Structure 1
Amino acid sequence: MTSTLDAPAVRDELTRLLDAADAQEPELHARLAARFPGSFPTSDEEAADLLTDAYIAVPREVGELLAMLVRATGARTVVEFGTSFGISTIYLAAALRDNGGGRVITTEIETAKADAALASLRRSGLDDLVDVRVGDALATLRDLPGTVDLLLLDGWSALYLPVLEIVEPALRPGALVVADDTSLFPDVLTSYLARVRDLGSGYRSVDIPLGDRLELSMRTGQVSAASTAR
């Protein structure tokens, strides 16, 4: 079975973006070290001004996993919180192409990043599958069509739970939720992880040691009375 990820335009664009992200890493670490000598920021929002032009890319293996999840579930509607330069968006859209079509609804607060992501999607030939929404995700994701098959959380960690709560009514039973970088700011994600790991809240969830760790959750829709009362 051939994959859209192997198409020359897609492969070349992903290679360009991932190589650029790798090349930026030392300079990005230097910025953070200068601001937070001898420590690490306690949240991504604390270092937000240092990250406006940062790729903050998913590693290649995480991108491949995302594409496989979309393919394996036959997803047609994917929501992504945190477009950045569009690397994960390309993986998601390529998998939708292999599924016969669909839509990635993705949101990015930095206009320059959103513009760059759109340009990359056009070069990849995948822009027809993607709706890039610019602005605060708590506003841009309130209008979702139909049901959602997969949600990727890859923006500011403190917004994972609020974004989940906005998208949750559209998640079909069996929908997947992928939260990226869960090891970077564990204190910020305490409430989010408690929510998806609570069997009574309508999810089954597992930690995956790829990249800076992922939390993969499946929406069961079986919510206990105790969770509803909280």
Structure 2
Amino acid sequence: MPPSPVVASPKVLDLLQKLHAASLAQESTWSTRLFFLARKIRSAFSSRETWTSKQDDFTRDKFIALEQDKSEFLYLLARTTGATAIVEAGTSFGVSTIYLALAAGQNAASLSSTPVTPGQGAKVVATEKEPTKAARAREHWKEAGAEVEPWITLLEGDLNETLPVEVGKSDKIDLLLLDIWTPLALPALKIVQPKLRHGALIVADNTAGFRAAYKDFFEYVHDSKNGFKSMTTPFKGGLEVIVYLPTSENKL
């Protein structure tokens, strides 16, 4: 097995392996497979995906974590671009957030000529609507320790209400991860867009597997007046990598 591309202590790397294994174990059950198959079939016939309380109940104890290869790729993207101001829409159990926090903290350290106090010089803003998932995420970040936890600010509740307030405090956003219920992807992007720096990255998950559900999102991203350039990378289910390159005419 090749070495991990992620720079982290053995404790954190072991934790990530454990969390990904737990997520995969859940995803391999027939009930979870049928749940996502039904979602995919519904989304193929309608771009207006609905979410019910029954679906909330089913997913409440599910990781639904970003796959390990995607997470490692995300970490490398964040490191390569020097991202220190990151937003994650949809943290779930906080697995992908660990990768983002590692990258943000390490980028902050690279930019400083003196040792960086954990939590200073970078921030990962994560959102989660479900209280039980937010609690589990906090447990995982606490277990990861000072390499991860101090860099994260978790917003609990509806991101349409919580995210504008937090983003409004930011000078700029370097990277946005959209790993969330597809109808919320475009609203989250629009909330963050005014603070995206030129060259900022937006990464969205499952853009091939749930293409129809992303219809409004792609209409917006592919409209040249909005300043985005995108590519669907060939990870499982598709992973969209979008660069924000506005001109003076379309800069918000």
Q: TM-score, normalised to structure 1's length?
A: 0.89
2:125 is the counterpart of 1:123: no
- 2:98 is aligned to 90
- 1:33 is aligned to 34
Q: What is the CA-CA distance between 1:67 and the residue it aligns to?
A: 0.4
- 2:217 is aligned to 192
Q: Distance between the aligned counterparts of 1:184 and 1:123, measured in 2?
A: 33
SS at match of 1:221: coil
2:51 is the counterpart of 1:45: yes
Task: Determine which of 172, 189, 193 is the counterpart of 1:147.
Answer: 172
For residues 1-230 of structure 1, what are the structure 2 equivalents within 5 Å? 5-27=7-29, 29-31=30-32, 33=34, 40-42=41-43, 43=49, 45=51, 47-99=55-107, 100=109, 101-125=121-145, 126-143=148-165, 144=167, 145-222=170-247
Name stretches of at least 5 consecutive residues in structure 2 with no aligned partner. Answer: 44-48, 110-120
Q: What is the CA-CA distance between 1:16 and the residue it aligns to?
A: 1.2
Counterpart AA for 2:16: L
Q: Is the 8 Å Cα contact of residues 148 and 170 (structure 1) preserved in structure 2? A: yes
SS at match of 2:201: strand
Deviation per CA, 1:135-176, whole angstroms, max 9, x where unpaired?
A: 011111112222100000011100111111111111011111
SS at match of 1:146: coil
SS at match of 2:209: coil
Q: TM-score, normalised to structure 2's length?
A: 0.81
Q: Distance between the aligned counterparts of 2:236 and 2:99, measured in 1?
A: 16
Q: Is the 8 Å Cα contact of residues 204 and 239 (structure 2) preserved in structure 1? A: yes
Q: What is the CA-CA distance between 1:48 and the residue it aligns to?
A: 3.7
Q: How many pairs align?
A: 225
Q: Is the 8 Å Cα contact of residues 84 and 105 (structure 2) preserved in structure 1? A: no
Q: Sequence identity of aligned pairs in percent?
A: 35
- The runs of at least 4 consecutive aligned structure 1 residues that moved more than 3 Å come to 2-6, 34-41, 46-49
SS at match of 2:247: strand
Q: What is the CA-CA distance between 1:213 and the residue it aligns to?
A: 0.7
Higher strand share goes to which structure? 1
Q: 1:57 to 1:38 in 2, by over 3 A?
A: closer
C-alpha RMSD over aligned residues: 2.5
Q: Is the 8 Å Cα contact of residues 5 and 72 (structure 2) preserved in structure 1? A: no
